[in-house]
Amino acid sequence: MSNSKIADAKLADAGRLRIEWAESRMPVLMHLREAGKKDLPLKGMKVAGCLHVTKETAVLIRTIRAAGAEVSWSGCNPLSTQDDVAAALAAEGTSIYAWHGLSTEEFYWCIDKTLEMKPTLTLDDGADLIFRVHDRYKDLAKDVIGGTEETTTGVHRLRAMGRAGKLLYPVIAVNDSETKWDFDNVYGTGQSSLDGVLRATSILIAGKTVVTGGFGHCGRGVAERARGLGASVIATEIKPTQALKAILEGHRVMPMDQAARLGDVFITATGMKDVLVGRHFDVLKDGAVICNTGHYDCEINIGELEARAKGRRTVRPNCEEFTMKDGRRIYLLAQGRLVNLAAAEGHPSEVMDMSFSNQYLALCKLAKEGKTLGKKVYQLPPELDQEIAGVKLTTMGVAIDKLTPEQVTYASDYSAGT
């Protein structure tokens, strides 16, 4: 057994089955793994990762190791670790510190343990690991060639750090690859968030009013899937262009103060704190379901919910009933943490295939060129998106057209008119 702390080593067999299932649905990453076994693009690298320990992440970890790197891993959310997957990874020699339901203190302890390897590359989902290096372990940064970041929220913060001149090494914003944000954030979040709501509540979505807090890529995905199940959708927004898109998609848009009175299910996806607060809890319908699919658990102000409740009890796994002083019941899912990972299994393997192919290629790029890069946030070249999407299509048995030589000429002919 590797250096690790996990919930239960006996779960390894179940974890292996789950990982195998994911591998059979992640053909692009598996294709990269086969190539990496020969070329060893990460040979000699030490990768510290802080990202949800799921079956899909295990496929990524196996791929990174097959490419020659040593890995040490922690989960990036207290409720997202799949304990059987963690057990399988530990059994095959990955250093891993992760278990479901750890406390905040334990969460940072796990990150600190992964840093004992003195990484040359860091990989983040939400930037907690990289912040830890910058805040507490600055001396480690000199050996780090570069880092990667998976999420919108993390990239946002790292860009701010880069602009302030505070980044100690280059970072690749994996989130900003088209084959990540335009698929994972939309279709992944859409399906997995509804999956979380359904597993936690088993309610009928058809005929319900679903309120999405935010209509960015994630909110749009949730709205589309909720509509697909027969819900009528209200989107709340702060940005006029996003609000307009929601309207043109046929959804209603209004401030949360109004939507709070109308919604049956609320799913926050903004990356911002205090989307649902006390004054909303005061007017929610009896039986309203509230949950969050943004990275941090600050979108629903749980303190203000607790302060208004005269009683609370867990009525189903990941579903807590708060009884208000006037008798109304509000159901909070997954403690306000990512409902898709805490109450379900996160995004499906097919979509993580592309996200994690970007992660892997970003690590390879940093291993090769990181030392020549500045201390700022970079994107992967857009040509890689076309390559990843091309391989994905091939594995799906889908062919597309190619431009003829005449069309290529036409495309660059600025003199052609009517």
Binding site for ligand ADE (CB under 6 A): 51-52, 54, 56-57, 188, 192, 341, 346-347, 352
Tell me how far, at minimum, the Cβ of 279 lies from ligand ADE, in Å: 31
Min dist. Cβ of residue 37 to ligand ADE (A): 23
In the complex, what is the shortest distance from the CB of residue 195 to ligand ADE, in angstroms, rounded to a whole number? 10
- Of 57 and 74, CB closest to ligand ADE: 57
Residue closer to ligand ADE by CB (options 185, 301) is: 185
H/E/C letters for each residue in the chain? CCCEECCCHHHHHHHHHHHHHHHCCCHHHHHHHHHHHHHCCCCCCEEEEECCCCHHHHHHHHHHHHCCCEEEEECCCCCCCCHHHHHHHHHCCCEEECCCCCCHHHHHHHHHHHHCCCCCEEEECCCHHHHHHHHCCHHHHCCCCEEEECCHHHHHHHHHHHHCCCCCCCEEEHHHCHHHHCCHHHHHHHHHHHHHHHHHHCCCCCCCEEEEECCCHHHHHHHHHHHHCCCEEEEECCCHHHHHHHHHCCCEECCHHHHHHHCCEEEECCCCCCCECHHHHCCCCCCEEEEECCCCCCCECHHHHHHHEEEEEEEECCEEEEEECCCCEEEEEHHHCEHHHHCCCCCCHHHHHHHHHHHHHHHHHHHHHHHHCCCCEECCCHHHHHHHHHHHHHHCCCCCCCCCHHHHHHHCCCCCCC
Task: State the nearest-atom distance from the C-beta of 293 to ligand ADE, in Å.
Answer: 9
User: Which of 51/388 has CB closer to ligand ADE?
Assistant: 51
Distance from C-alpha of 318 to C-alpha of 18, rounded to nearest angstrom: 21
Q: Could you tell me if 85 and 15 are in contact, meaning their C-beta atoms sit under 8 angstroms apart?
A: yes
**Nearest-approach distance from CB 233 to ligand ADE, in angstroms:** 22
Nearer to ligand ADE, 224 or 264 (CB): 224
Question: Could you give phi then psi for residue 335, rounded to 5 degrees?
Answer: 55, 25
* CB of 17 vs ligand ADE, minimal distance in Å: 16
Instruction: Sheet with 146-149: list strands edge to edge.
Output: 4-5, 95-97, 70-74, 46-50, 121-124, 146-149, 171-173, 377-378
Nearer to ligand ADE, 126 or 162 (CB): 126
What's the closest the beta carbon of residue 218 comes to ligand ADE, in angstroms?
10
Q: Which is nearer to ligand ADE, 58 or 309 (CB)?
A: 58
Decide whether 42 or 351 has the Cβ nearer to ligand ADE.
Answer: 351
Nearer to ligand ADE, 62 or 208 (CB): 62
Closest to ligand ADE by CB, 120 or 192: 192
| Shortest CB 269 distance to ligand ADE, Å | 12
Residue 57 or 72 with smaller CB distance to ligand ADE: 57
**Which single residue brings its beta carbon nearest to ligand ADE?**
346
Least distance from C-beta 193 to ligand ADE, angstroms?
10
Q: How far is the CB of 6 from ligand ADE (least distance, A)?
A: 17
